[in-house]
Amino acid sequence: MIHTGRHFLQIPGPTNVPDRVLRAMDQPVIDHRGPEFAQLGMDVLEGMRSIFQTQSKVIIYPSSGTGACESALVNTLSPGDPVLIFETGQFSNIWLGIAQKLGLNVEYVPGNWRRGASPAEVEARLSADSQHNFKAVVVVHNETSTGAFSRIPEIRRVMNRLRHPALLIVDAISSLAAMDYRHDEWEVDVTVCGSQKGLMLPPGLGFNAVSEKALAAHKHARLPKSYWDWQEMLKHNQSGYFPYTPATNLLYALREAVVMLHEEGLPDVFRRHDRYGEATRAAVKAWDLEIVCEEPREYSSSMTAVLMPEGHNADALRKVILENFDMSLGAGLGKLSGRAFRIGHLGSFNDLMLAGTLSGVEMGLRLAGVPHRDGGVMAALQVLASAGQPAEVR
Ligand SMILES: Cc1ncc(COP(=O)(O)O)c(C=O)c1O
């Protein structure tokens, strides 16, 4: 089938790349050890501090998000260190796998893939650790496989109340620059991110935002590292350079994306995503389908995962939508494979793109014979056409 117009890329990352960012990348490659590069390096390192909302250091790797996860662990921990990881979905499973392969001693707190990490569980596990054996607590902020986020400020408050010295390591790969996230204010020690979601870039950059406490831990961390070593990176970054060849043209893109995010203003970026989340959930409820996240306080604003009615396969629905309407939706991951689909509503995105996205889903439900009620798109339009604030705020 020939498709015309733009493909709808509505997976929860990689997201649509704005034309401004594409044009910023479309430059001759420069000498990454020459004078022009240093300014670019300084600009993006400084710019990313403002996006993470930190005064501390940010590290930028030519890597995927998974690389930046590995980096957070190898730079702060030693072989056999006990770490607490919360099962929130497929991406916490990835953290578990990395930590185990690195030889860390993981306590994996079970979860039902429908909620964020429980602050009460953090309290229970850490208060039982009077010897302060745990060296790190790892939490996925926005669990991209379920659309449930973890309440990081509450988790930090529990850790502070217990005076537990473990590092707090947070994966903000699908929330940074889409949902409110404050590295310094929330006292996160390492925040991990990737370029291909809220930052509106193609895949290829990984980030660590690093607290002073994490830098201190780094000095004694004995897990082997070379490519990921913060020390080497920070030494070169002082003058705007990198210890190896950086992804030069992605850094041009990043510089432009940071400008765009500040033109809109981070609070407005977050409010915009909150509205998309609210409108999408209004559609799903009107269709009489079930949202995977079962805790309204933890609804993601960057994506929504939807459960299929019993006996209907999410991949069959996604195939119908791709073939008929040229729209990619996110697959169910891990144990939600075939049982759920995911609607990405983050990054370079607007009200009419969301209206089109939800129209594609509603038409797809009909074509694929999935039992549902009509009226989801109408319900979403009502949210989008209202005052511009999410219902909780109005
Ligand atoms: C929350 C989260 N963590 C980790 C990753 C892995 O990132 P990457 O696929 O860039 O390696 C993703 C990717 O979607 C993610 O959403």
Please give the share of the chain, as a percent, with pLDDT higher than 70: 98
Span from the CA of 373 to the centroid of ligand 1 (angstroms): 33
| Closest by Cα among 145, 83, 142 to 117 | 142
56-77 confidence digits (pLDDT tens): 999 999 999 999 999 999 999 9
CA 92 – ligand 1 centroid, Å: 10
Q: pTM, whole model, 2 decimals?
A: 0.97
Ligand 1, pocket-test mutation among 9, 86, 91, most atoms within 8 A of CB: 91
- pLDDT value for 1: 81
pLDDT at residue 45, as a whole number: 98
CA-proximal residue: ligand 1, atom 9 (nearest): 65
Q: Which atom of ligand 1 is nearest to the CA of 172?
A: 1
Tell me what the pLDDT averaged over the chain comes to.
97
Mutate to test the pocket of ligand 1, among 9, 66, 141 (most ligand atoms within 8 A of CB): 66
**pLDDT value of residue 389:** 54
Tell me the per-residue pLDDT of 113-171, one tens digit each, with 9 for 90 and over.
999 999 999 999 999 999 999 999 999 999 999 999 999 999 999 999 999 999 999 99
With the CA atoms of 194, 200, 202 and 207 taken in that order, what torsion angle do they form, in degrees rounded to the nearest 10? -20
- What is the Å distance from ligand 1's center to 178 Cα? 15
Mutate to test the pocket of ligand 1, among 63, 173, 250 (most ligand atoms within 8 A of CB): 173
- Which of 138, 144, 302 should be mutated for ligand 1, with most atoms under 8 A from CB? 144
C-alpha 40 to ligand 1 mean position (Å): 26
Over the stretch 294-337, which tens digit does the pLDDT of each residue have?
999 999 999 999 999 999 999 999 999 999 999 999 999 999 99
Of 174, 201, 207, the one to substitute when testing ligand 1's pocket (max ligand atoms within 8 A of C-beta) is: 174
CA of 270 to the centre of ligand 1 (A): 20
Q: How far is the CA of 14 from the centre of ligand 1 (A)?
A: 10
* Secondary structure string (H, E, C) spanning the chain: CCCCCCCEEECCCCCCCCHHHHHHHCCCCCCCCCHHHHHHHHHHHHHHHHHHCCCCEEEEEECCHHHHHHHHHHCCCCCCCEEEEECCCHHHHHHHHHHHHCCCEEEEECCCCCCCCCHHHHHHHHHCCCCCCCCEEEEECEECCCCEECCHHHHHHHHHHCCCCCEEEEECCCCCCCCCCCCCCCCCCEEEEECCCCCCCCCCEEEEEECHHHHHHHHHCCCCCCCCCHHHHHHHHCCCCCCCCCCHHHHHHHHHHHHHHHHHCHHHHHHHHHHHHHHHHHHHHHHCCEECCCCHHHECCCEEEEECCCCCCHHHHHHHHHHHHCEEEEECCHHHCCCEEEEECCCCCCHHHHHHHHHHHHHHHHHCCCCCCCCHHHHHHHHHCCCCCCCCCC
**pLDDT at residue 390 is higher than 60:** no
- Nearest alpha-carbon partner for 347 in 199, 144, 203: 199
Please give the distance, rounded to the nearest whole angstrom, from the Cα atom of residue 386 to the centre of ligand 1: 33
Q: Dump pLDDT digits (tens) for 171-193.
A: 999 999 999 999 999 999 999 99
Instruction: Please give all residues whose beta carbon lies within 6 A of any atom in ligand 1, as ranges.
Output: 13, 64-66, 91, 94, 140, 144, 171, 173-174, 194, 203
Amino acid found at 335: K
Residue found under tokens 């909780």: 392
pLDDT for res 52: 98
Q: How many whole angstroms from 205 Cα to the centroid of ligand 1?
A: 12
Ligand 1 atom closest to the CA of 143, numbered from 1: 1
Nearest to 16 by CA among 348, 259, 268, 336: 348
Per-residue pLDDT at 393 = 44
| 109 contacts 120 by C-beta, under 8 angstroms | no
Q: What is the pLDDT of residues 240-297, one digit of tens each?
A: 999 999 999 999 999 999 999 999 999 999 999 999 999 999 999 999 999 999 999 9
Q: Is 326 left (phi over 0), alpha (psi -120 to 50) or beta?
A: left
CA–centroid distance, 13 to ligand 1, in Å, is: 9
